[in-house]
Amino acid sequence: MVWCTDAAVVVPPRSTAVLSPSAETDPTQRGCHIQVIAEQGRKGWQRISGYNARAGAEGTMRLYQRIIGGTLRSHSRLTQQTETRITVTVLNRMLDLGRPDSVRVA
């Protein structure tokens, strides 16, 4: 299995993506992703590359900005940190109220 350890860009290639002619001699990040998808499948690539964690973090930030707003209202660094802690606590409490408690059965 070929895997680029210094891969910084985690963008899923299209389902019809093919390797470039120079993929064997000079693999690119995209080529490495395509090879891993071919060997492990798209779900395996998502797990290996950390794509799911990144997508989850982006979704959480999008939710934060939608509910709380895209900018901080405080001007000093200390009050911005306090404002952020308060808003994150409020957001987490709101999410806990709407999240079901799942229990695995059998």
pTM of full prediction above 0.85: no
| Domain-embedded: residue 105 | no
Instruction: Please determine, for residue 82, whether its predicted confidence score (pLDDT) is greater than 90.
Output: yes
My answer on whether 45 and 9 are in the same domain is yes
My answer on whether 41 and 58 are in the same domain is no
Instruction: Please determine, for residue 1, whether its predicted confidence score (pLDDT) is greater than 60.
Output: no
| Domain-embedded: residue 33 | yes
State the total domains in the chain: 2
Token readout for 26 is 């000079």
| Domain-embedded: residue 104 | no
Residue with tokens 């299209």: 14
My answer on whether 72 and 86 are in the same domain is yes
My answer on whether 58 and 86 are in the same domain is yes
In which band, very low, low, confident or very high, does the pLDDT at 79 lie, cut at 50, 70 and 90?
A: very high
String of DSSP letters for the chain: ----TT-----PPPTT----TTTTTS--HHHHHHHHHHHHHHHHHHHHHTHHHHHHHHHHHHHHHHHT-SS-S--SHHHHHHHHHHHHHHHHHHHHHHS-------
My answer on whether 6 and 44 are in the same domain is yes
Residue-wise pLDDT for 83-97, tens only, equals 999 998 988 888 888
Letter for the amino acid at 79? Answer: T
| Domain-embedded: residue 14 | yes
> Which domain does 13 fall in, by range?
1-49
Residue-wise pLDDT for 6-52, tens only, equals 646 677 888 888 887 877 777 777 888 888 888 888 898 888 888 88
Select from 66, 64, 70 the least CA-distant residue to 86: 64
| Domain-embedded: residue 74 | yes
